[in-house]
Amino acid sequence: MSRPRTTPGPVPSAPRNAPDTPRSAPRDGLGTGPGSSGDARDGGARDHAPWTAFGSDLHLDLTGRRAAGAGLRAALEDALREAVQDGRLAPGTRLPSSRALGEDLGIARNTVVEAYGQLTAEGWLGARPGSGTTVAERAAPRPAGRPAAVRADRRPTGRHDLLAGRPDLSLFPRSAWLASARRALAVAPHDAFDYGSPLGRIELRRALSDYLARVRGVRTDPDRLLVCAGFGQGLGLLAAALRGRGAGRIAVEGYGLPPQREVLRAAGLDLAPLPLDSHGARTDLLDGPGGGGGGADRLGAVLLTPAHQFPTGAALAADRRAAAVRWARERDGYVIEDDYDGEFRYDRQPLGAMQALDPDRVVYGGTAAKSLAPGLRLAWLALPDELVEPVARLKALADTMSPVTDQLTFAELITSGRYDRHVRRCRLHYRRRRDLLVTALAERAPQVRVTGIAAGLHAVLQLPPGSRPEAELLERARAAGLVLTGLDWYRAGPDAERALGLPAPENRSGAAPDTAPNAAPALVVGYATPPDHAFPAALDALCGILRES
Ligand SMILES: Cc1ncc(COP(=O)(O)O)c(C=O)c1O
């Protein structure tokens, strides 16, 4: 058997009924049991073996197996085998003595001796003179493959990360956040740490209400704001609330974030994609033949990114905004405004939030994912009166409320002015990045048109018709160590236009014409993502593959 693992195991208190269980006296004053001090009879070879003193610690269920007709010994063997197999008993774990286990389980010591013997013969356990019985080092078969990948695990990796959707994480304002956390925790009342309103901490809702009015023109108040774990969660809550009110479908932009569409579908809504053009989503079609629908088919809402269409970058034109709000009023629907990067506008006047047009019909959603970090999982919804109660009820069901300490810290960050300073610094940083990208492409890949860059953290690079197909370009990008996506990845599906009763598209007519003419390839580049030191190399690699496109 190979050396026991060095991870200290659970430290037992003095084993009462285990005369043949290794006992030890702590030698170094740090450990209190065999897991940390070594054993006089063993010269320390198993000093750090995970250690199980009592049968009851093993959580062996014999009764179920006995009830199913297994004999005592077979039931014990089975239960031990299963514990090793599913990893509860890690390789190297020392098992209780046969006497201790027998006493704990209320069975004869001999039965345990026989079961240990059988499992040792099968290779699950090992025995060494003086060491007692341990789980064999390679006893636990590795599970086939990996567990189902979670979203983050599915992220492709490469040397140059230009995947759109994330900020430069090296800009996270660690000192400002720490200072705000210190201050917020120092002044928080005791009851701040209790269960609280599913809407979130009042300090943050007050701070957000003022902040959003000032920088985005949002018309709300603390009683209508809900703090959630990312806009993704807020969207799921809204979708479930709308479903609960009888909506069967939701209109989405013809190109958008695929995980958001998954969230909507998971809530039971069908999607009705709206075509895009250079003025944003065709909200005028909401009133068309496919836009109504009654019964189970009822179109209950439209999800839009009005400030900066994701990913094509168009700003939703004033008449399109008005058309969406008109539709919502007339059809008892809602507009969900995803203001995911509203803070980052470079060249033109900031476009105020669409929510101000009608706070009773437009839900405003914002997030700290771009301005601070996605890992914070901090976002907010400004809700119409009618949706406050149903959405808050669903939030309470989902996770009671968002964690308090980050809410208090974020509230302090805002009210102290540190958040404004941080956002201003980031805006300059990303604007410089964008300018570097535009300049490099103009010099080294002049055939590429860069669009969608008046705001945000990403750009769309359109290649001329006749270029290599998008899939081939992406393959070359991958080979060059670049992590990025093509525009097609964001497409809402082949039925984008049909869903609202339009003729089937001949080409990529669901996108803005100036972003994807004649299905010419287009890449979506997150220029904010790499830290400063990695950006020049990423830019070089990008220009390299585009030069040969
Ligand atoms: C279009 C869009 N909306 C919203 C978000 C933010 O989502 P969340 O707050 O769940 O991280 C992102 C982040 O990538 C996004 O790209």
With a 6 Å cutoff on the Cβ, whether 230 touches ligand 1 is yes
Ligand 1 geometric centre to CA of 310 (Å): 10
pTM for the full predicted model: 0.74
**Distance, CA of 285 to CA of 327 (rounded, Å):** 10
pLDDT at 327: 97
pLDDT at 90: 86
Q: Whose CA is nearest to atom 7 of ligand 1?
A: 231
Please state whether beta strands 299-304 and 249-253 pair in parallel, antiparallel, or not at all (unpaired).
parallel
Residue 221's nearest CA partner among 329, 355, 339 is: 355
**What is each CA distance from 452 to 350, 439, 473, in whole angstroms?**
15, 15, 20
With a 6 Å cutoff on the Cβ, whether 367 touches ligand 1 is yes
Q: Which residues pair with 274 in a beta bridge?
A: 253
The ligand 1 atom at the shortest distance from the C-alpha of residue 368 is 9
With a 6 Å cutoff on the Cβ, whether 374 touches ligand 1 is yes
The ligand 1 atom at the shortest distance from the C-alpha of residue 367 is 9
pLDDT at 409: 98
**Distance, CA of 330 to CA of 291 (rounded, Å):** 12
**Distance, CA of 543 to CA of 541 (rounded, Å):** 6
pLDDT at 363: 98
Ligand 1 geometric centre to CA of 342 (Å): 12
Residue 419's nearest CA partner among 232, 272, 240, 208 is: 208
Q: Which residues pair with 173 in a beta bridge?
A: none
pLDDT at 212: 97
Residue 234 near residue 208, CB atoms below 8 Å: no
With a 6 Å cutoff on the Cβ, whether 165 touches ligand 1 is yes
Q: Whose CA is nearest to atom 13 of ligand 1?
A: 165
**Distance, CA of 191 to CA of 540 (rounded, Å):** 54
With a 6 Å cutoff on the Cβ, whether 305 touches ligand 1 is yes
**Both tokens assigned to 402:** 């968002």
pLDDT at 155: 63
Residue 441's nearest CA partner among 375, 348, 538 is: 538
Ligand 1 geometric centre to CA of 218 (Å): 19
pLDDT at 287: 85
Cβ atoms within 10 Å, residue 234: 26
Residues 6+ away with beta carbon under 8 Å from 203: 184, 407, 408, 411, 412
**Distance, CA of 447 to CA of 549 (rounded, Å):** 9
**Distance, CA of 483 to CA of 155 (rounded, Å):** 9
Mutate to test the pocket of ligand 1, among 166, 310, 458 (most ligand atoms within 8 A of CB): 310
The ligand 1 atom at the shortest distance from the C-alpha of residue 365 is 4
Q: Which residues pair with 337 in a beta bridge?
A: 304, 364
pLDDT tens-digit profile, the chain (549 residues): 333 333 333 333 333 333 333 333 333 323 333 333 333 333 333 444 455 545 566 778 787 777 777 788 988 998 898 888 877 888 888 899 898 898 888 899 999 999 998 898 888 898 776 778 999 886 555 555 555 555 555 566 788 999 998 999 999 999 999 999 999 999 999 999 999 999 999 999 999 999 999 999 999 999 999 999 999 999 999 999 999 999 999 999 999 999 999 999 999 999 999 999 989 999 999 987 665 556 668 999 999 999 999 999 999 999 999 999 999 999 999 999 999 988 898 876 778 999 999 999 999 999 999 999 999 999 999 999 999 999 999 999 999 999 999 999 999 999 999 999 999 999 999 999 999 999 999 999 999 999 989 889 999 999 988 888 888 999 999 999 999 999 999 999 765 444 444 333 333 434 443 344 346 789 999 999 999 999 999 999 999 999 877
Ligand 1 geometric centre to CA of 219 (Å): 22
27 alpha carbon, distance to own chain's centre: 46
